[in-house]
Structure 1
Amino acid sequence: MLALSATTDRAVTLLREFGAETIAHPGGTLLAHLQRAQARLATWKARPSLQLAGLCHAFYGTDGFPGALLPLDRRNDLAAVIGAEAEAIVYLYASCDRTATYPALHQADAAVHDRFTGRPHVPEPQLRRDFTELSAANELDLAITDSAFRDRWGPHLLALFSRLQDSLSADAWLECRTVLAPPASQPTNR
């Protein structure tokens, strides 16, 4: 656990160096969001590389958050801090064209469409599971910290993660159902 802690500290230092603690984001700052994503993955018992990817998932921007902290030609700089496996998860997450990818993502052989290169590719199963788990951690944090986001996107996200539940850990799937489920109807007093 010491190695994860030390690597996390180095990653947070890099995030601060690139201004993540000054960028507004639902629930506070981008840095706070990234730290919550990492913490959620830790509570789901994700392995260290996935936790580090959760902390760094916005380094290259995302399809939903366009501001990049680090240009793509510096991927090696991030890999030097968090490791090649975690950086590969970050890249896949950042590069995903959600509109082109999400409709078929539940199919084992479905391609992820890279918004940077314009090319589709089929990630190996572990990387696909990592992408799905990180996606859930990210979207759940947004839904928890921003009720307007949850109201607008909750049903769509619940449908997405329902299709992807075989790629989610049991803890992640439980939290998706709990957070994204429509509110129970209130009994009427007559």
Structure 2
Amino acid sequence: MTFGSAARAFLREHGTEAIEHPGGTLYSHLCRVEQRLAAAGAAPPVQLAGLTHAAYSTDGFDLALIPWTDRDLLRAVIGLEAEALVYLYGACDRDRTWPALATTSTVHDRFTGQRRVLESHLIGSFVDLSIVNELDVIEQSPALLVKHGDYFRDLFARWAPLTSPKVADEIQRLMGPRK
């Protein structure tokens, strides 16, 4: 069984096909995020992180499939590198992290209260995952673009130096130019 198929089985076993999410179910959202990351040329561990990014809950979706303290369980399914990104994404305190991320490279961990300065090889993957997740939600719920579009345009513009070119193209395609 490949990591991808094991991850999909894990998600199904944890009920994601029955959890409502913009655009259908949490399972369909997670699969779309993985597919978007693949289309953007993300490395396989980043794609797997996209597929399982909500395992520990997120600052925007407070439903954990497993407790964040059971990290070994997810590591066994998707590997160390992908799980580390899933943890980082789930643990991110968005209000304290996102505005200054491009200048500080610092993520505030909402689970532990700690701060972590991201290594250069990790920050681009973290930013791309964060953007791709938000783009999928916005595409599935266009009213969110009307309500929060200016916030995300501004945020994504600040993150532009950290964003991969194909993800930047997706921002322009889905959100249009910054006003």
Q: Distance in 1 between matches of 2:72 and 2:54?
A: 16
**CA offset at residue 168 of structure 1?**
1.0
Contact 1:62 / 1:96 at 8 angstroms: preserved in 2? yes
Any stretches of 5+ residues in structure 1 without a counterpart? 185-190
How far apart in 1 are the matches of 2:164 and 2:178? Answer: 23
For each residue in 1:124-154, what CA deviation from the matched residue of structure 2 results, as whole angstroms up to 9, or x when unmatched?
1121111100011100101110011111122
1:76 matched to 2:72? The reply is yes
Q: Is the 8 A contact 1:155 1:180 kept in 2?
A: no
Question: Which structure has the bigger radius of gyration?
Answer: 1
Q: Deviations over 1:13-65 (max 9, x none)?
A: 00011111100000000000000000000000110000000000000000000
Task: State the 1:183 CA deviation.
Answer: 10
Q: CA deviation at 1:110?
A: 3.4
Report what 2:171 is aligned to: 176
Cross-structure match for 1:25: 21
Tell me if 1:150 matches 2:145: yes
Letter in 2 for 1:148: A
Paired residues for 1:1-190 under 5 Å = 6-107=2-103, 109-181=104-176
Bigger Cα displacement from structure 2, 126-135 vs 28-37:
126-135
Indicate conservation of the 8 Å contact 2:106/2:118, yes or no.
yes
- Structure 2 SS opposite 1:73: coil
Q: For 1:14 and 1:55, how far apart are their aligned partners in 2?
A: 11
Q: Deviations over 1:132-190 (max 9, x none)?
A: 00011100101110011111122211111111111111110011122122699xxxxxx
Q: Contact 2:93 / 2:109 at 8 angstroms: preserved in 1? A: yes
Gaps of 5+ in 2: none
Listed one character per residue, the Cα deviations across residues 79-111 of structure 1 (whole Å, up to 9, x for unaligned) are 11100000000000000000001111111x332
Which residue identity does 2:72 align to in structure 1?
Answer: N
Cα RMSD after superposing both structures = 1.5
Q: TM-score, structure 2 length as denominator? A: 0.96
Tell me, in whole angstroms, the C-alpha distance in 1 between the residues paired with 2:68 and 2:134: 23
Contact 1:158 1:177 in 2 (8 A): no
CA displacement at 1:72 relative to structure 2: 1.4
TM, length-normalised to structure 1:
0.90
Does the Cα contact within 8 Å between 1:112 and 1:123 map onto a contact in 2? yes
Aligned length: 179
